[in-house]
Amino acid sequence: MSDIDSLLDRNRAFAESGAWRNTPRLPFLPFKNLYVITCIDPRTDPADFLGLEFGEAIVARAVGGRVTGLVLRDLFYISYLVEQKAPEGPYFEAAVIHHTDCGSRLLEDPELRHGFAERSGYDEAELAQLPATVPADTVRADVEKILSTPQISPRITVSGHVYHTDTGLLETVTKAAHPGT
């Protein structure tokens, strides 16, 4: 028996509920016009702390919620799809969320970082940039990275937030702004 087997009953209940019939229209226009970028940490699932329901948001998750090249590529792709396939919109808000007590901070340890770089082949200097040491600072930097990427549609907006694991509260650090502004 695999670990996912114990959840198949929940899947059957979901299928029976019919919730999946209420589907956002392509290309990827979620009901709340929201594209959330957050950490893979099991404590930082936006379905929990934002109460997101079926089809309400696109959710991208990466270590630390950091906007790496792959995260940026996906965001670029979706914003391009909306421009091409649904130019009338609505365009979405990309909400970047970093959090306190993040596991990415374990990479602040030079020994662990060096060992991981050797084992993985990833650039050690790049890995040193990954930890969300001060999440308010890293989230500002990542929002700025998206806003200054010229390929991203200027019709979307981007905002930055910190999720506090000790209170469950989300704090807005940068208000929604359009790329190129």
Positions touching Zn ion (CB under 5 A) are 39, 41, 102-103
Let me know: does 43 contact 65? Beta carbons within 8 Å: no
In angstroms, what is the minimal distance from the CB of 64 to Zn ion?
5
Let me know: does 139 contact 97? Beta carbons within 8 Å: yes
In angstroms, what is the minimal distance from the CB of 36 to Zn ion?
14
DSSP string covering 33-88: -EEEEE---TT--HHHHS---TTSEEEEE-GGG---HHHHHHHHHHHHHHHHH-TT
Instruction: Decide whether 39 or 158 has the Cβ nearer to Zn ion.
Output: 39
Instruction: Decide whether 164 or 178 has the Cβ nearer to Zn ion.
Output: 164
Instruction: Decide whether 41 or 142 has the Cβ nearer to Zn ion.
Output: 41
In angstroms, what is the minimal distance from the CB of 65 to Zn ion?
7
Residue type, 18: G
